Chain A
Amino acid sequence: MRDPSWRRYLRFWGPDVRSDVDDELAFHIELRVDQLVAQGMDPAAARAAAWRRIGDAEALARTCREIDGERLTNARRREWVQGTWAELRVAARQLRRYPVLASVAVLTLALGLGASTAIFSALYAVMLRPLPYADADRMVRITETMRGAETSVGAGQFKEWLARSTAFESLGAYLQTTYNLTEGTPERVRAAFVTSGLFRARYVKPAFGRYFLPEEDQVGREHVVVLSYGLFEQRFAGDPRIVGRPIRMSGETYTVVGVAPAEFSTATPGDQLWTALALRPEHKASFSDHWLTVYAKRKPGVSQAQAQRDMERVSREIAQLHPDDMVDRSARVYDFRDDLVADHERSLTTLFGAVGFVLLLACLNVTNLLLARATVRRKETAIRAALGATRGTIVRHFLMESLVLAAAGAVLAFVVSRLTLRALLGLAPAEIPGLGHAGQGPATAVFLAVTSLGVAVLLGLLPALRGLRSVEPALRMGGRTGSATTTRDRLRSLLVVSEVALALALVTGAGLFVRSARKLNDVDVGFSPTGLITARVSLASSRYSTPEIVQQTYLELVDRMRRLPHVVSASANSMPPLAGGAVSVDVRVEGRAYAPGNEPEAQFHIVTPGYFETAHTRLAAGRLFTVYDRDRATLVAVINEALARRLWPNESAIGKRVACCAEGPAPWREVVGVVGDTRQFLSRVPQPELYVPIEQTPPTSWSWHGNSLAFVVRTDGNIAEATRGIRAAIAETDATLPVYDALTYDERLKLASASNRFSTVLFSALAALALVLAAVGLYGVLAFSVAQRSFEMGVRVALGARPIDVLALVSRQGMRLVAGGLAVGLVLAMTASRVMASLLYQVAPNDPVTYLTAGVLLVGVGALACYVPARRASRADPTTALRA
Chain B
Amino acid sequence: MTERVDLPQGTLETLILKTLTWGTMHGFGIGRWIEQASGDSLTIEEGSLYPALHRMEKRGWIDAEWRQTENNRRGKYYALTPEGRRQLKAQSESWLTVVRSVGRVLDTSKQPS
Contact = CB atoms under 8 A, between A and B. Distances in A.
Nearest to A12: B66
B65 A9 contact: yes
A70 B64 CA distance: 16
B58 interface: yes
A20 interface: yes
B93 interface: no
B51 A60 contact: yes
B73 A30 contact: yes
Given A9-B64, A60-B50, A71 B73 contact: no
B75 A27 contact: yes
A821 to B, nearest CB: 59
Please indicate which of the listed interface residues A24, A25, A59, A68 has the most CB atoms of chain B within 10 Å of its own CB.
A24
A60 B46 contact: yes
A20 B27 CA distance: 13
A53 interface: yes
Contacts of A70: 58
Interface in B64-88: 64-66, 73-76
Dominant secondary structure of chain B at its interface with chain A = helix
Nearest to A13: B66
Contacts of A24: 27, 50, 75-76
B54 A54 contact: no
B40 interface: no
A63 interface: yes
Contact of B26 (A9, A27, A64): A27
Interface string A20-33: 10011101101110
A183 B74 CA distance: 96
Nearest to B76: A24
A30 B75 CA distance: 10
Contacts of B66: 9, 13
A74 B58 CA distance: 9
Interface string A28-64: 1011100100000000000000000111100110011
A179 to B, nearest CB: 73
B76 A23 contact: yes
Contact of B65 (A5, A32, A74): A5
B51 A28 contact: no
A61 to B, nearest CB: 9
Nearest to B58: A71
A56 B50 contact: no
A67 B76 contact: no
Interface string B1-33: 000000000000000000000000011110010
A64 B66 CA distance: 16
A32 B32 CA distance: 10
A28 B25 CA distance: 12
Interface in A45-97: 53-56, 59-60, 63-64, 67-68, 70-71, 74
B55 interface: yes
A17 to B, nearest CB: 10
A23 B51 contact: no
A5 B63 contact: yes
A185 to B, nearest CB: 70
A24 B74 CA distance: 8
Contacts of A5: 63, 65
B45 to A, nearest CB: 8
A68 B57 CA distance: 8
Given A5-B63, A27-B26, A27-B28, A63 B75 contact: no
A64 B58 CA distance: 11
Of the four ranges (under 10, 10 to 19, 20 to 34, 35 or more), the interface on chain A belongs to 20 to 34
A494 to B, nearest CB: 53
A221 B39 CA distance: 96
Nearest to A25: B50
Contacts of A32: 28
B103 interface: no
Interface in A281-307: none
A87 to B, nearest CB: 25
B47 A54 contact: yes
B46 A27 contact: no
Contacts of A71: 54, 57-58
Given A20-B76, A71-B57, A64 B27 contact: no
A31 B32 CA distance: 11
B43 to A, nearest CB: 9
Contact of A67 (B46, B58, B65): B58
Contacts of B27: 24, 28
A747 to B, nearest CB: 71
Contacts of B73: 27, 30
B58 A27 contact: no
A24 B75 CA distance: 6
Contact of A53 (B32, B46, B63): B46
Given A28-B46, A53-B46, A67-B51, A23 B64 contact: no
Interface in A135-153: none
Interface string A370-395: 00000000000000000000000000
A25 B46 CA distance: 9
B54 A27 contact: no
B94 to A, nearest CB: 24
A23 B29 CA distance: 16
Nearest to A28: B28
Contacts of B57: 67-68, 71
B28 A64 contact: no
A203 B47 CA distance: 66
A143 B74 CA distance: 89
Contacts of B54: 63-64, 67-68, 71
Nearest to B57: A71
B33 to A, nearest CB: 13
Contacts of B47: 54-56, 59-60
A872 to B, nearest CB: 60
Nearest to B64: A9
Given A23-B74, A28-B26, A30-B73, 17 more contacts: A5-B65, A9-B65, A9-B66, A13-B66, A25-B50, A27-B75, A28-B46, A31-B28, A53-B46, A54-B47, A55-B46, A55-B47, A56-B47, A60-B47, A67-B58, A71-B54, A71-B57
17 contacts: A6-B63, A9-B64, A9-B66, A27-B74, A28-B27, A30-B73, A53-B46, A54-B46, A59-B47, A60-B50, A63-B51, A63-B54, A64-B50, A64-B51, A67-B54, A67-B55, A67-B57
Interface of A: 5-6, 9, 13, 20, 23-25, 27-28, 30-32, 35, 53-56, 59-60, 63-64, 67-68, 70-71, 74
**What 8 A-B pairs have minimum CB-CB distances, sorted nearest first?**
A71-B58, A67-B54, A31-B28, A54-B46, A27-B75, A24-B76, A64-B54, A5-B63
